[in-house]
Chains A and B, each alone.
With several copies, the nearest count.
Chain A
Amino acid sequence: MAILVDKQSPVIVQGITGKQGGFHAKLMMEYGTNVVGGVTPGRGGEWFEGKPVFDTVSKAVEATGATHSLIAVPAAFAAEAIYEAVDGGIKLIVCLTEHIPVSEMMKAVAYVKLKGARLIGPNCPGVMTPGQAKIGIIPGMIGMPGHIGVVSKSGTLTYEVGFALSRRGMGQTTFVGIGGDPVIGTTFIDVLQMFENDPDTSSVVLLGEIGGRAEIDAAEYIKNHMTKPVAAFIAGRSAPPGRRMGHAGAIVEGSEGSAEEKIAALEAAGVRVAANPEQIPDLLAS
C-alpha cells in the first residue's frame, strides 16, 4: 500500500535537463521509480537517460500518462512550474525548490487547491516509499519497507530519523517531506490523515520545528482523529526568538511558534516526543 507514490506511479521531472533535475532523475530511476519522461521548454524531442524530453507538461502527460511530477527548477520559475503541472493534469506535484517568494506560493497553493491537485513542498526533500519509488532527493539508503509513516518539515532530519529506524530494522511505509516554508501545499494534518487511513501504516513519526502553528494544529488533529501511535521530535529548542533558522518558516515570532509550546501540545495529545531524534526508535518500540 503506502501513500502518495508506489512502484507504478508514472513520474515526470520538470527541469530534467538541469543539473539538479538530471542528477536526481537518475537516482530516482536507479531506485526503481517509474520515471516516464521529463520537461524542459525548448528541448522537446531530446532524450535524457533513455526517457523522452518534452517542451511542456501537457505534451508529456499526453504522451506518457504521467500523474506525478517532480519540480526541480530555479526559484524564479518554480511557481510557474507548479501552475503548469496543475494545468497539465498532474495529480501529485513534488516541488523541491527552495527560496520561492511567499507571495508566489500563496498564489500557487491557492491555485493547486482550486484545481484539486496535490502539492508537496516547496523546499522539501519529496516523498519516498521504501522498496518501491521515490520522488525527490531522499537518499534511498535511509529507508526500508515496513509500517512506520514518517512526515517531516525537514530534509536531513528525516534522513537522520529514517536511518535510525532502518538501523533498528524498523521499516517505513512512506516518507513525506512537507517542507520548511511558511506556505506549503500539504500540511502535517493532510499526511497524518493519509497515514491514519493507510492500512499498511501502523505507527507514525512526526518531525516538526519551531515557527508557525502547524504542529499545534497537528496535535489537535491527532487528539481527535488518530488511532495509531505517533512519536515526534521538534527541532529548535535552542533557537533564539526572532531569528529565522534557515528555513523560511522556522522563526519564533513573539509568543508564537516555540518548540516548548509545540512539544506541550503534542504531549497533551498523547504523542511521545523525543528530546533526541535518535531516540525515536525506542519510543516506537516501547
Chain B
Amino acid sequence: MKLHEFQSKALFGEYGIPVPRGKVATTSDEAYAIAAEIGGAVVVKAQVHVGGRGKAGGVKLAKSPEEAREVASKILGMTIKGLTVRQVLVDPAANIQQEIYLAITNDRQAGRALIIASAEGGMDIEELAVKKPSAIVRLHIDPLVGLKVYHANNVVSAMGVPREHYRAFVQIVQQLYECYIKSDAELAEINPLVITTEGKLLALDGKVIIDDNALYRQPKLAAMRDLSEEPESETKAREAEITFIKLDGQIGCMVNGAGLAMTTMDMTKLYGEADGIGPANFLDIGGGASSDQVAAALRIILSDSNVKSVLINIFGGITRCDDVARGILVAYDEVKPSVPIIIRLQGTNAAEGRALIDAAQIPNVVSAETLTEAAQKAVEAAKKAM
C-alpha cells in the first residue's frame, strides 16, 4: 500500500528524520492559511499516487499566501495520469545546496533489505544507475542481524557527504531503517534528502510503500489508505477478500489463483487483440473461495458497463468447482446479467460443478472444455456484442 508524500514524511518525522513543517490542504483557502502560517515562499505539491507530478504541473512554487491560493486552486482538481488531485501539501520552500538520494527497499533476489544511497541525488535513481553507477552506494542488511550503526557508517562513508554532516547522515540512515522495519515497509525512500544553504538536512520528498501482507499488524498505517484514488469496485473487492484490479478491456474474468488469472487475461488478449478485445479486469477469487465470494466477484465484474462477456476459469485445487458453481448461480439470480458467460470448470469436483450449472439451464451460459476454447468463445461473444 502506497503512502502519500505527506503521510510518508509525517512517518519519517516520527522516527526523528528532519522534514519540512508543511501541512495538507483540500481547498485553496486552506492552502492560503497554511502558507500564511508558514510565512515566506512555499511549495504546493499535488498528493497523488503517481510519479512525474512535477512534469505534469502538479508541483509549484508560491512566493506569498495569495500566490499559494492561486496555485493550489489550479492544482486541486487537475488530473495527473488519470488520477484527480484532491489534496495538496503546502511545504516551506527550501534553499537547496546539495541533493542526496537515500532509500531502503526489499531486494527480493537477495532476500534482504537493500540500502541505496547517492550523494548525487536530484535525478531519477534509475537514470543515475545507468549514467553513473559508481555514484550509487548499495548495502544489503542481514535480516537475522539487522542494521548496525556501522552499516549506516559504511553507507555514509562510501557516499562521501560533507564531513560536517557525517554524523547527521549516519543517524538518518539508522532512523530510516528503523522506520522501514517498524512500518513493515517494502520501500522507504527520501528523494531528495537535501542539505540547505543554511547547512540543515531536510527530507524534501518521501515515498513509503507498506507490505500489504503486514497491514494486519500496522493498523495506524492501514488507516491511511486513500480510497478516493481507487475504483469503487476495487474497494468492494477488497472488502470481500477478493483480489481485483480494474482494467479497460471487455472480457470480465473470474479465475482462481493469481498465475492462472493473469494467464486467462493473457488468453483473452492473445485471441482478442486483433479485434481490440482484451481483459476487463484481473480477478483472483483465491484458494478455497466460498459461494458468497464467488457471488460477490460476479457482481463486481458485472458492475462494469464495459464488460461484454464474462470468462470464468476455475481449475479446482483447494477451490471446489461445486462451490464455485453454487456461487455463480446465486449471483446470477440476483444480477440477471444480459452478457454471455463462458464457464470452464476443471479439477476438484468439476463434474459436480458442471452438473449444477447444467441443471440450472441458464440462458447465455456457455461451457467450455479447455482454457483455449473458453477464451476463444469469450472473445467471440464480446465481438458479437460490440
Contacts and interface: CB of A to CB of B under 8 A. Distances in A.
Touch test A–B (CB under 8 Å): yes
Contact of A246 (B154, B216, B243): B243
A279 to B, nearest CB: 8
Contact of A278 (B111, B243, B371): B371
B255 to A, nearest CB: 7
A272 B65 CA distance: 63
A102 B149 contact: no
Interface of B: 106, 108-109, 111-113, 126, 142-145, 148-150, 153-154, 156-157, 163, 166-167, 170, 181, 184, 186, 211-214, 216-217, 243, 245, 247, 255-263, 265-270, 278-279, 282, 284, 287-288, 315-318, 346-348, 370-372
Nearest to B182: A103
A4 B243 CA distance: 32
A83 interface: yes
Instruction: Kindly name the residue among B243, B287, B316 whose own CB sees the greatest number of chain A CB atoms within 10 A.
Output: B287
A247 B211 contact: no
A20 interface: yes
Given A100-B213, A153-B259, A137 B143 contact: no
Nearest to A138: B317
A75 interface: yes
B278 A139 contact: no
Q: Closest 3 A-B residue pairs measured CB to CB?
A: A154-B259, A246-B258, A156-B257
B111 A106 contact: yes
Nearest to B249: A238
A20 B282 CA distance: 26
B287 A137 contact: yes
A15 B157 CA distance: 16
B111 A248 contact: no
Contacts of B269: 237-238
Contact of B144 (A54, A100, A111, A243): A111
Interface residues of A, number: 81
Contacts of B266: 235-238
Interface in A1-56: 20, 23-24, 41-42, 44, 54-56
Nearest to A113: B111
Given A156-B259, A157-B263, 16 more contacts: A41-B150, A41-B157, A75-B216, A80-B149, A81-B150, A100-B213, A102-B106, A102-B186, A102-B214, A111-B144, A111-B145, A139-B316, A209-B259, A235-B259, A237-B266, A238-B266
Contacts of B214: 101-103
Q: Which of B126, B153, B278, B371 has the most CB of A within 10 A?
A: B153
Contacts of A163: 315, 346-347
10 contacts: A44-B157, A56-B150, A80-B148, A83-B145, A102-B211, A103-B181, A103-B184, A106-B112, A138-B317, A275-B270
Given A138-B317, A156-B317, A247-B258, A42 B167 contact: yes
B211 A157 contact: no
Contact of A217 (B109, B126, B149, B150): B109
A283 interface: no
Contact of B263 (A77, A84, A125, A277): A277
A246 B263 contact: no
Contacts of A156: 255-257, 259-260, 315, 317, 347
A74 B21 CA distance: 36
A99 interface: yes
A278 B175 CA distance: 51
A275 B287 CA distance: 25
A276 B212 CA distance: 31
Interface in A98-117: 98-103, 105-107, 109-111, 114
Interface string A214-256: 1001000000000000000101111110011111111000110
A245 B260 CA distance: 11
Nearest to B258: A246
Given A41-B170, A103-B181, A238-B268, A152 B259 contact: yes
A105 B184 CA distance: 12
A41 B166 contact: yes
A176 interface: no
A160 interface: yes
B149 A155 contact: no
A137 B318 contact: yes
Nearest to A105: B111
Contacts of B316: 139
Question: Which of B111, B145, B259, B278 counts the most chain A CB atoms within 10 A?
Answer: B259
A264 interface: no
Contact of A210 (B181, B211, B262): B262
A76 B111 CA distance: 19
